[in-house]
Structure formats: C-alpha cells, structure tokens
C-alpha cells in the first residue's frame, strides 16, 4: 500500500492512495486528532482516520432513485442496506499527482454503468495548526447525473470529550439506518447546542441547519471542524473511542426526498466542489 507522510512543525498526517484515505492525523507530539489506522495486512478505508465520500454520501433507500423520468439503479443489489454506501471513491485506488512536505493532491477517474462518470481531485494540506481537505468532482459523461459527497473523519475522543454545534433539526433513523421524518425538536441526548458529553451510546443521525462549525472540547485542547456543507452526520457506537462528524453536501437519502435537497445535477464538464478544515487549538 502506497503511504505518504506529510508534516509541518505542528501536525503530521499519513495518507494512502488506496481510497484517498488518511491513516492518521496527529499533533507534532503524537497526540491523535483523528483515530489512527491499526497497521494490518487487510486494510479497508473504513478502518482509516478519514476517507472521502463520492459521488454521494451515506445511504440511498433501496439502492435506487428517480432521475427525471428514469430510475437510476445503483451498483449492488436492490434494497441492500450497504448498497452503494458512501459511493465508490473510497474503495478505489487514487493517483498522487503532486506532493509537497505538507500537502498532497490525488486524482481519480471512475465510471459506473448507472451513469456516474467522473474525475475527482482531492487535496490534503497542513497550514499551521490546521488541516485542510478540498474535493472537486467533475462529471465527464454526456448524460447529466446527480452528484453529492462529503468527508468521513473519525475524531479521537475520550470519556471527557464534549461536543458542541448548533443545528435546526435532525432525522431519527430506522432499523435500516435510513432517516425517518425530519424533526425540529432535538432530544436532549442529541442536542449539542451547548457543550455536552456524547456519552457511550449509539448515535447515527443527520442534522440540518448546521452552522458549519463543530467543536470537540477536551482538557487542554479544542478541535474545531469547519465546512461549507449545510448538513452534518454524527456517528459513534456504544464502545467506540471515536466520533464521526461528517460534513455532507446533502442529507442521507436525499435522492429519494422531495426536491432531492443538496444534490447537484451536473452536465458534462460541470463540477461540484466542497471543503473541510480541522483546527487544533492547544490551551
């Protein structure tokens, strides 16, 4: 597996061309900002510190959706709960076209029979105490196609870590991990408008009306996530030592929601671009 180590005086990251995934993001004194990949021979991007989601984020109900008068059948079995989970970009090998001591740019050319036909350019960079990720997806096919995406970082946390962000509402999930009806009333356990401990509980919910900023507050350190995407997905398990704060250009299953919110219909040569930053403040 091809691995690149990039660093500046404050931060260090390890990047692999497999899935364009981060294997680690640490401070200069080796304190993890994102969980680190546990080195093994059976690497999967889902075991990484961060991976990109494209050409869509999260799940699509029944693995199909309407596009105009047609129905797009995504790769995988109809109704498969995993289906085209997070798209295909995180499962493919990317090419590194440009590297510097503190930055790397990766490229991917991918097609699917259902109509996705795209080129992606992804840049990871370190600037001072900040990590920056920028993704540009360009449609190459003659037939227009719906696109979306996001980033899937696994933030390191401890039992003392508090989460803080504001949102206008959220989607409860059903047994298939698909969203139920949107609600403007957040239950106390899922309301982080004031800093609170996420606790040792299952969380797998999408939020709308997100301010674009989320904070993880620990003793002596604050990690700030910023993104230009309007939706945030929060995920953790009851026992995980991580919490995922996933900026997304569209809500989960937007393909089957009225108006297909956040998705972009791209004609040939049109692009979708979005970014994410992680600031590390040491107190």
User: 3.40.50.150, 3.20.20.100, 3.40.250.10, 2.70.98.10: which CATH number matches 3-282?
Assistant: 2.70.98.10
Q: How many CB atoms lie within 10 A of CB 221?
A: 15
Distance CA 28, CA 8 (A): 8
pTM score of the predicted model: 0.96
Q: What is the pLDDT of residue 77?
A: 80
Query: For residue 211, what are its two tokens?
Result: 């301010």
Query: For residue 162, what are its two tokens?
Result: 């508090």
Per-residue confidence of the chain (283 residues) as pLDDT tens digits?
899 999 999 999 999 999 999 999 999 999 999 999 987 778 888 999 999 999 999 999 999 999 999 999 999 887 777 889 999 999 999 999 888 999 999 999 999 999 999 999 999 999 999 999 999 999 999 999 999 999 999 999 999 999 999 999 999 999 999 999 999 999 999 999 999 999 999 999 999 999 999 999 998 899 999 999 999 999 999 999 999 999 999 999 999 999 999 999 999 999 999 999 999 998 7
Q: What is the pLDDT of residue 161?
A: 96
Q: How confident is the model over 238-250, as pLDDT tens digits?
A: 999 999 999 999 9
By C-alpha distance, which of 189, 193, 194 is closest to 238?
Answer: 189
Q: How confident is the model over 136-174, as pLDDT tens digits?
A: 999 999 999 999 999 999 999 999 999 999 999 999 999
Q: Domain segments of the chain: what residues?
A: 3-282
Contact between 155 and 223 under an 8 Å Cβ cutoff? The reply is: yes
Distance CA 232, CA 226 (A): 11
By C-alpha distance, which of 236, 267, 249, 258 is closest to 210?
Answer: 249
Where residue 27 falls (left for φ over 0; alpha for ψ -120 to 50; beta otherwise) is beta
């Amino acid at each position: 597996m091809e691995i690149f180590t990039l660093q500046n005086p404050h931060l260090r990251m390890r990047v692999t061309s497999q899935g364009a995934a981060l294997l680690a993001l640490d401070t200069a004194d080796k304190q993890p900002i994102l969980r680190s990949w546990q080195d093994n021979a059976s690497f999967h991007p889902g075991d990484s510190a961060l991976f990109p989601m494209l050409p869509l984020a999260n799940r699509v109900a029944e693995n199909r959706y309407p596009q105009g008068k047609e129905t797009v059948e995504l790769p995988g079995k109809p109704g498969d709960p995993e289906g085209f989970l997070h798209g295909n970009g995180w499962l493919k090998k990317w090419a590194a076209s440009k590297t510097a001591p503190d930055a790397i740019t990766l490229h991917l050319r991918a097609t699917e029979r259902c109509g996705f036909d795209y080129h992606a350019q992804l840049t990871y960079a370190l600037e001072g105490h900040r990590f920056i990720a920028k993704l540009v997806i360009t449609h190459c096919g003659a037939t227009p196609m719906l696109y979306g995406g996001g980033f899937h970082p696994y933030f390191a946390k401890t039992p003392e870590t508090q989460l803080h962000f504001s949102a206008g509402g959220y989607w409860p999930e059903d047994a298939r991990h698909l969203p139920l009806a949107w609600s403007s009333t957040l239950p106390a356990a899922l309301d982080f408008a004031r800093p609170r401990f996420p606790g040792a509980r299952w969380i797998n919910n999408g939020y709308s009306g997100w301010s674009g900023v989320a904070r993880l507050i620990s003793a002596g350190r604050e990690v700030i996530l910023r993104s230009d995407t309007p939706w945030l997905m929060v995920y953790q398990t009851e026992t995980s030592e991580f919490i995922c704060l996933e900026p997304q250009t569209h809500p989960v299953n937007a393909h089957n929601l009225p108006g297909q919110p956040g998705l972009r219909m791209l004609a040939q040569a049109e692009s979708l671009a979005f970014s994410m930053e992680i600031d590390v403040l040491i107190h």
